[in-house]
């Protein structure tokens, strides 16, 4: 029997996130996802008047291709993917997988070689209507410390919430960020200052990622100074980093440590831009409360922010270019040690809660109340 939650999710992805229109070509790119969801997506695209194109991938095969791939092979694959993407109006990317560490033993040089060509495809995709989401698996339930059944319900609660309500609540924060010059962040092991002057702030209420729930901008590239100590696990390239600590001087990461300091610095040495920050964002999703080593969820955690070594986004650009984009998350709710965020000497969030009246609708009880009221 078809799970009606899959139908609801497909409708969110097709009719809200990518807003498929008659005649749109839609790429459905799926890694180890149940066929039932893919079929519901195809149906939803057809009802909207679009045309579906489906790519199915498997993580262990992807690992083998990474292990044995050559520069010529990666380049040709990128060229073909780019050509296909240019013919699409929308793209829905869904990643499942039984093992989040499937590619952890791929040598760094091979990973860097492969990702150096992926960037060209990403540039084309980012100009389309697109959305990315993870698919619930038992391994995700384990990382979230939930039973499989409980995690599934959590997942659908998160992914099908009223994102239109969230969008409305985000507008005052967007406007405040775009009026702000100086940002100061404090917390355990953290004393950080930077400027966001003149850089757009972008609300993310479910148009590009599901789940969603952040407002992002970027620091002025050379303005970051101080130290930050992240308090959540940070998976990247198949390895989970913990206790990441970064020191900045005039925008550049000059000292970095973690549970694998050598591996961390190898990634930060990928290129010049990898040691500069490309994104600063505040997470506000009311249902996502704890880290689960899945960045698509973790970067949206209520009361969190993330700070991202590497490439900036074109719509909030500080000019930083890199082959990496690594969202690192800090939670500032009291049970995680608390913390403060200041905009131009005004305290706007303490211990994960917004203090200004115009930002109060983003506090979790208000977003939840709105959601429940509409249910």
When mean pLDDT is compared over 58-67, 206-215, 231-240, 331-340, the highest value belongs to 331-340
Give the model's confidence band at 374: pLDDT under 50 very low, under 70 low, under 90 confident, else very high: very low
Domain region containing 47: 4-160
In tens, the pLDDT along 255-265 reads: 999 999 999 99
Is a pLDDT exceeding 70 seen at residue 369? no
For residues 194 and 130, membership in a common domain is answered with no
Is a pLDDT exceeding 90 seen at residue 131? yes
For residues 240 and 352, membership in a common domain is answered with yes
For residues 218 and 308, membership in a common domain is answered with yes
Is a pLDDT exceeding 80 seen at residue 113? yes
pLDDT at 135: 87
0.75 exceeded by pTM:
yes
For residues 176 and 286, membership in a common domain is answered with yes
Q: Which residues, in sequence order, are CB contacts of 369 under 8 Å at separation 6+? A: none
What is the C-alpha end-to-end distance of the chain, expressed in Å?
24
**Which of these, 266, 260, 270, 244, lies nearest to 324 by C-alpha position?**
270
Domain contains 375:
no
For residues 145 and 172, membership in a common domain is answered with no
For residues 216 and 142, membership in a common domain is answered with no
Mean pLDDT of the chain: 92
Average pLDDT score over residue span 259-281: 97
Residues β-bridged to residue 219: none
Q: Of 113, 137, 160, which one is at a domain's C-terminal end?
A: 160
What's the per-residue H, E or C state across 233-263?
Answer: CEEECCEEECCCEEEEECCEEEEEECCCHHH
Question: Considering its fold, how many domains does the chain have in total?
Answer: 2
Give the model's confidence band at 116: pLDDT under 50 very low, under 70 low, under 90 confident, else very high: confident
CATH label of the domain that carries residue 147 = 3.40.1830.10
Is a pLDDT exceeding 80 seen at residue 99? no
For residues 68 and 192, membership in a common domain is answered with no
For residues 155 and 198, membership in a common domain is answered with no
In tens, the pLDDT along 169-201 reads: 999 999 999 999 999 999 999 999 999 999 999
């Amino acid at each position: 029997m078809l799970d009606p939650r899959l139908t609801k999710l497909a409708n969110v992805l097709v009719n809200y996130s990518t807003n498929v229109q008659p005649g749109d070509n839609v790429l459905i790119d799926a890694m180890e996802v149940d066929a039932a969801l893919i079929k519901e997506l195809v149906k939803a695209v057809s009802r909207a008047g679009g045309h579906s194109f489906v790519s199915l991938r498997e993580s262990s095969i992807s690992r083998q291709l990474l292990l044995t791939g050559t520069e010529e092979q990666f380049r040709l694959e990128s060229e073909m993917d780019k050509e296909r993407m240019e013919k699409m109006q929308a793209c829905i990317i869904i990643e499942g997988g039984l093992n989040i560490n499937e590619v952890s033993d791929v040598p760094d040089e091979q990973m860097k070689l492969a990702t150096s060509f992926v960037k060209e495809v990403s540039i084309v995709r980012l100009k389309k209507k697109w959305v990315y989401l993870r698919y619930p698996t038992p391994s995700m339930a384990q990382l979230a410390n939930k039973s499989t059944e409980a995690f599934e319900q959590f997942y659908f609660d998160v992914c099908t919430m009223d994102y239109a309500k969230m969008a409305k609540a985000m507008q005052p924060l967007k406007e405040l960020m775009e009026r702000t010059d100086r940002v100061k962040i404090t917390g355990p092991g953290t004393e950080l200052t930077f400027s966001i002057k003149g850089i757009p702030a972008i609300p993310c209420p479910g148009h590009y990622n599901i789940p969603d729930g952040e407002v992002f901008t970027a620091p002025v590239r050379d303005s970051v100074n101080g130290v930050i100590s992240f308090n959540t696990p940070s998976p990247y390239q198949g390895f989970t980093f913990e206790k990441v600590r970064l020191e900045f001087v005039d925008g550049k990461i000059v000292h970095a440590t973690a549970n694998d300091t050598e591996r961390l610095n190898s990634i930060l040495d990928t290129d010049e831009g990898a040691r500069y920050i490309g994104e600063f964002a505040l997470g506000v999703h009311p249902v996502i409360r704890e880290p689960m080593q899945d960045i698509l969820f973790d970067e949206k955690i209520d009361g969190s922010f993330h700070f991202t070594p590497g490439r900036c986004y074109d719509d909030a650009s500080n000019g930083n270019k890199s082959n990496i984009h690594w969202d690192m998350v800090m939670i500032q709710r009291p049970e995680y040690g608390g913390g403060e965020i200041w905009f131009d000497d005004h305290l706007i969030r303490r211990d994960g809660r917004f203090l200004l009246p115009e930002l109060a609708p983003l506090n979790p009880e208000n977003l939840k109340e709105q959601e429940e009221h509409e249910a």
